[in-house]
C-alpha cells in the first residue's frame, strides 16, 4: 500500500533513508541490553544476586583479630553494579557473629589530590556484634575452625546460616554449626546485616594509602 511504513531493510538502505530505520542494525544494538536485563531477571528469580543494592566500583578491606560465629554458610553468587555489570563473589553468611578489633578501610584516588583513605575501627574492648551478617567477598584468609561442617552441599538447600542464605540449585556450598577465625583478612564488595553493633566506633579520613592490611 502506498505510504505504508517499511519494517524490513531494502537492498542498499543506508542508516536512515526517508524516515526509515535500519531494523537489523537496531536489533543488533538492542539485543545485548535485553540480554543483560533478562540475565538479571533470571538471577533475581533464582536467588543468584547477593547484595540487595548496586555495589560501588571499589572494593574494601576488612580485618579482625578474631571472629566467632553461630550458623555459618558460604556459597557462590554475583553482585551487580550501577552499570548492571555482574561481579562474581563468595558470600559468607553468619546468623550471629562477634568480631574483636575490627578494621575496615577503603582507598579512593581523586584527581590532583591523590589517594584518600577512609578507615573505620571498632571492637577494641567489647566485640562488634552482628546478626544475619552477609559479606560478599573476593578474598578471605585466616586460621579457621568449624564445628559440624558440611562441604559440597547444594547451595539451594543450606539451612544452618541466616534464613536468606541460600544460593542457586546445583552450585557448591558449605555450612557449619559454628565458625571461629583468627587473624581474619578479607576483601569485599558489600556487607549486609540485620543489626550491626559497633562498640568504640572510630572513623578517620586521611591523605595517602592506609589500609587494614
Cα angle 113, 103, 127; round to 5: 150
pLDDT at site 26:
44
User: 3-state SS of 63-93?
Assistant: EEEEEEEEEEEEEEEEEEECCCCEEEEEEEE
In tens, the pLDDT along 111-158 reads: 999 999 999 999 999 999 999 999 999 999 999 999 999 999 999 999
Q: Is the predicted pLDDT of residue 46 greater than 70, yes or no? A: no
Closest C-alpha to 157, from 75, 79, 65: 75
Q: Which residue has the cell 576488612?
A: 62
In the structure, what pLDDT confidence band is assigned to residue 20 with cuts at 50, 70 and 90?
Answer: low
For residues 94 and 74, give the distance between their C-alpha atoms in angstroms, rounded to a whole number.
9
Contact (Cβ atoms closer than 8 angstroms) between residue 179 and residue 146: yes
**Is residue 2 predicted with pLDDT exceeding 90?**
no
Look up the pTM and report it: 0.78
Q: What is the pLDDT of residue 68?
A: 98
- Cβ(55)–Cβ(79) under 8 Å? yes
Q: Rounded mean pLDDT of 163-172?
A: 95
Confidence of residue 50 (pLDDT cuts 50, 70, 90): confident
d(CA 18, CA 1): 17
| Grid cell in block for residue 159 | 539451612
Whole-number Cα distances in Å, 122 to 48, 56, 126: 31, 23, 9
Predicted local confidence at residue 52, as pLDDT = 80
CA 197 to chain centre: 21
Give the 3-state secondary structure of residue 184: strand
The more confident residue out of 188 and 44 is 188
End-to-end CA distance of the chain: 73
pLDDT band at 171 (very low <50, low <70, confident <90, very high): very high
Taking Cα atoms as reference points, which of 114, 49, 121 lies closest to residue 85? Answer: 49
Asked whether residue 12 carries a pLDDT value surpassing 90, the answer given is no
Per-residue pLDDT band for 35 (boundaries 50, 70, 90) equals very low
Amino acid at each position: 500500500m502506498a505510504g505504508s511504513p517499511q519494517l524490513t531493510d531494502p537492498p542498499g538502505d543506508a542508516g536512515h533513508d526517508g524516515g526509515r530505520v535500519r531494523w537489523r542494525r537496531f536489533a543488533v544494538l538492542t539485543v545485548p541490553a535485553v540480554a543483560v536485563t533478562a540475565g538479571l531477571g533470571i538471577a533475581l528469580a533464582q536467588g543468584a544476586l547477593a547484595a540487595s543494592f548496586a555495589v560501588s566500583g571499589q572494593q574494601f578491606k576488612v580485618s579482625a583479630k578474631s571472629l566467632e560465629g553461630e550458623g555459618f554458610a558460604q556459597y557462590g553468587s554475583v553482585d551487580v553494579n550501577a552499570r548492571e555489570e555482574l561481579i562474581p563473589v563468595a558470600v559468607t553468611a553468619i546468623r550471629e557473629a562477634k568480631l574483636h578489633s575490627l578494621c575496615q578501610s577503603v582507598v579512593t584516588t581523586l584527581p590532583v589530590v591523590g589517594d584518600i583513605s577512609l578507615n573505620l575501627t571498632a571492637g577494641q574492648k567489647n566485640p562488634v556484634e552482628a546478626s544475619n551478617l552477609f559479606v560478599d567477598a573476593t578474598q578471605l584468609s585466616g586460621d579457621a575452625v568449624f564445628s559440624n561442617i558440611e562441604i559440597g552441599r547444594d547451595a539451594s538447600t543450606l539451612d544452618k546460616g541466616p534464613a536468606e542464605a541460600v544460593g542457586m540449585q546445583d552450585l557448591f556450598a558449605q555450612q557449619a554449626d559454628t565458625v571461629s577465625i583468627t587473624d581474619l583478612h578479607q576483601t569485599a564488595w558489600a556487607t549486609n546485616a540485620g543489626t550491626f553493633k559497633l562498640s568504640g566506633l572510630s572513623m578517620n579520613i586521611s591523605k595517602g594509602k592506609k589500609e587494614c592490611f
